[in-house]
Amino acid sequence: MARNKTYEEKIADHIAAVVEDRKIEDVLHFTRLENLPGILEHGLRGRSFLEQADYDVYASDADRLDGEDDAISVSISCYYPEMFAAKRYRSGNKPWVILAFHPGLLSNYPCLFYRNGVTTSATRYENGKRYGGFALEKLFEDCSISDLTGTGFREEHSLPSGWPTSSDSEVQVMSPIHPDYLLGAWVETPEHGEQVREAFDAYGRSECEVVVQSFEPRISRMPYSWG
């Protein structure tokens, strides 16, 4: 007789079903390029670990505004261009990389799902659970932009099924992310692409893809854009 699934297993199954139904291909995290070797060795870690690490690492902000120093912020399928641009500006001319991870981490690690940025006013006054498949589905909820045509916001902006409705939507992963989930990297210049490839090869990750293209939003229709 098959055993009954635990509550946690049912939640994980629901999240995995949403990922499959939405055809979510990856989960993104941007960081300074100099952090890549540490990530390949140790995976993605929360701020508390990084502050005590015995290897060089750059944390993008001195303090997390949400107070969750052990959480790892990632985004589904696309990134929030405004936040990325702000972090790059504050870091000077240091090169950055956008890392792509397997979406299986969403069901294999405890996650909190936010339709908008964690510290935004929209999130502050929003009720409801942040975990589980139903919370994940809320990231893709549509809205009508015209009572006359009935055209939805997602259709109007040609959003793929696996892209969230708001580009500032955020996922907090409440556990370290193993480096095996890493699928590839996106950088802006061939020189940085060579550095990434060398790092991947040095850690036996030749299967990881390297994409070289400008960090411009891939979907943009003012005032909205998705990176």
The tens digit of pLDDT for each residue in 208-223 reads 999 999 999 999 988 8
Is 20 a domain residue? no
pLDDT the model gives residue 126 = 59
Residue 7 lies in a domain: no
Q: CB neighbours (10 Å) of residue 215?
A: 18
Range of the domain at 116: 25-226
Is 52 a member of any domain?
yes
Size of the chain in residues: 227
The more confident residue out of 186 and 53 is: 186
This prediction's pTM: 0.88
Smallest CA-to-CA distance from 171 within 48, 50, 29, 40 is with 29
- Which two structure tokens, joined as six digits, stand for 102? 């397997």
In a domain, 17, yes or no: no
Residues linked to residue 97 through DSSP beta bridges, in sequence order: 31
Domain annotation covers residue 110: yes
* Residue 24 pLDDT exceeds 70: yes
Higher-pLDDT residue of 149 and 139 is: 139
Examine residue 15 and state whether it is found in any structural domain, yes or no.
no
User: Average of pLDDT values for 67-76?
Assistant: 82
Residues 165 and 76: their CA atoms lie apart, in Å, by: 11
> Terminal CA-to-CA distance of the chain, rounded, Å?
48
113: number of Cβ within 10 Å: 25
Partnered with residue 27 across adjacent β-strands are 76, 101
pLDDT band with cut points at 50, 70 and 90 for residue 77 = very high
Does 19 map to a domain?
A: no
Q: Are 64 and 36 in contact (CB under 8 A)?
A: no
Tell me if 218 is assigned to some domain: yes
CB 38: neighbour CB atoms within 10 A? 19
Say how many domains are in the chain.
1
DSSP for 46-60, written as a single string:
-HHHHHT-SS----S
pLDDT in tens, 83-109: 999 999 998 889 999 999 999 999 999
Strand partners, 32: 96
Q: What is the pLDDT of residue 121?
A: 47
Q: Per residue in 102-138, pLDDT tens?
A: 999 999 999 999 999 765 545 454 555 899 999 999 9
Collapse the DSSP code of 75 into the 3-class scheme (helix H, G, I; strand E, B; otherwise coil) and give the result. Answer: strand
> SS3 for 97?
strand
